[in-house]
Structure 1
């Protein structure tokens, strides 16, 4: 990622993990951080938790911003995360923050890997929590510098500092998959958190290789025919082609998940047309000169208007 300009923003909830992030960052780069804390409007105690974070920031002369949001209907944890990142992205833009850091740690990584294994996730999902990514604006780096730390280490650091961290009761609510996974890990010592986190990092490395290969595929095998049409010469493993299909759909103004693109790939491989996010994909073949090799070629263009007569 490019060198950061502007302060490092920290998302701090008042729990031990994020308070540890605050203390470590302030020790490492004093005067170069800013903190935001989000009240999701889900619990009356949340306002006091935001106030705690503000008090810690005032004690250390760290710029602080309290944010509030509301969580939409649906999967509570997923919707809360979506709402949180939305207001944090707005804060980053408004305050000129150069990068945002969150307090995900090794225990989070292990839990995420097991949850996604249970859901049959593909390699991208199994790569777990990325050490570095981008916010939804596509520009601001999103950093997770604590992935090498265990949760117990972070709790001890905060306790030693004399700060009384808050405890979110949802972290004990077995209605959530993550909480059940966490309890399962605690009750089965043979499932080592460090080993699971290392496996997630190995999978992330494999995924980075796929992303690199997909970039080559795009550069060498995808040709724009005009403003609204692409030609794709298919000569790579399915997992690579799926990434390229998603990217072409995006270039044409659509949005496709990897599972949708994989289903389209399977149809196209059987020489059947596929329709995806308003894009019609037609399979064919071309003889490539001067080699004389015949290659699969898939053409992408907006679907023609439907005849409503």
Structure 2
């Protein structure tokens, strides 16, 4: 994990820098500057180091970086120090963010949630955008992982290129770049990146899918990523339609929702039911975290004119109208 000195470290290829600048400004709407900085999440791996080198070359003086140390591996502190040293050589600010992953639940999901929270809190007030190094191969891997689980359009859709995250905008300017392209940027700079052992650990779904893609030439990452991007367009269209129908068909009265589902396709009814449940929960201070595992049985019950309960919300199909309200507390015996 040693970098050459600043004097003999080459700047990334000009064409790659200009390509990155175009990709980034397509999401930001203009060049980041000292007053509207671009924050980077940099782990020390080849993807995030490629992001760091390209962003620094494209927007000098407008980039800041942070590394998250989850405290899960003893090497993490050293890796964060490596990124800090590289940022010092490049002359850009760097911070190491620390936190504890909840012991309960899926470890990788918990680490991901913590990472985004720490990065969003850090970037707020310092930058207008927070960029991560998700790239084309990540999109292909996620597509296959979710397809294997039977995901719907939303699950199979490529990750959004830009979305709000707290008080900053999360952007992913490398979604059309391959892992190999980013590794070449880092190698050309004479830098040996961090290698996360979990990326090759068969205990993790992503590591197994990554190995499968490497072995199967009939599953090209660029084609899988293209399919995921097409589904992102479809997901955005469905979300737009569901939002329009919500405005026309939903009546929110205090902590209850009345919804007219007449004539709507099943997928739109499902999305509106999900939004109604979330709206009732929010009105009663129950928070946004709830699992949708019971949503399909609930939808079937409503379509049949019945009643169902999910996530402390009761839904009843009346005469052409679905009603959602807080479920009464369970009686103790």
Q: TM-score, normalised by structure 2?
A: 0.83
- Mark the runs of 5 or more structure 2 residues left unpaired by the alignment: 1-26
Secondary structure of 1:242's counterpart equals: helix
Map of 1:300 onto structure 2: 324
Aligned to 2:57: 27
Distance 2:76 2:331 in 1: 54
Q: 2:195 aligns with which of 161, 167, 173?
A: 167
Mapped contact 1:246–1:257 kept (Cα < 8 A): no
Stretch moving more, 20-29 or 106-115:
20-29
Give 5+ residue unaligned stretches, structure 1: 286-295
- What per-residue deviation string (whole Å, max 9, x for no partner) do you get for residues 101-146 of structure 1? 11011111110000001111111110032212232x3x42211110
| CA apart distance, 1:67 | 1.0
Give the aligned length. Answer: 295
CA contact (8 A) 1:232 1:297 kept: yes
Shift in Å, 1:262? 2.7
Secondary structure, counterpart of 2:40 in structure 1: strand
| Counterpart for residue 203 of structure 1 | 231
Higher strand proportion: 1
1:143 aligned onto 2:171 = yes
How far 1:175 sits from its partner (Å)? 0.9
Q: How does 1:110-259 map to 2 (within 5 A)?
A: 110-135=140-165, 137=166, 139-224=167-252, 226-235=253-262, 236-252=264-280, 253=282, 254=286, 255=288, 256-259=290-293
Residue 290 of structure 1 corresponds to none
**Structure 1 residue 102 corresponds to structure 2 residue 132:** yes
Between the aligned partners of 2:213 and 2:304, the Cα distance in structure 1 is: 43
1:246 CA drift (Å)? 1.9
Structure-2 change in CA distance of 1:157 and 1:264 (3 Å): same
- Does structure 2 retain, via aligned residues, the 8 Å contact 1:105–1:149? yes
Name the Cα RMSD after superposition: 1.9
**Please, what TM-score do these two structures have when normalized by structure 1?**
0.89
Structure showing greater relative contact order (alpha-carbon pairs closer than 8 Å, 6 or more residues apart): 2
Partner of 2:106: 75
Query: Which whole-Å CA distance do the structure 2 matches of 1:189 and 1:134 have between them?
Result: 36
Structure 1 pair 75–276 and aligned structure 2 pair: CA distance change class (3 A): closer
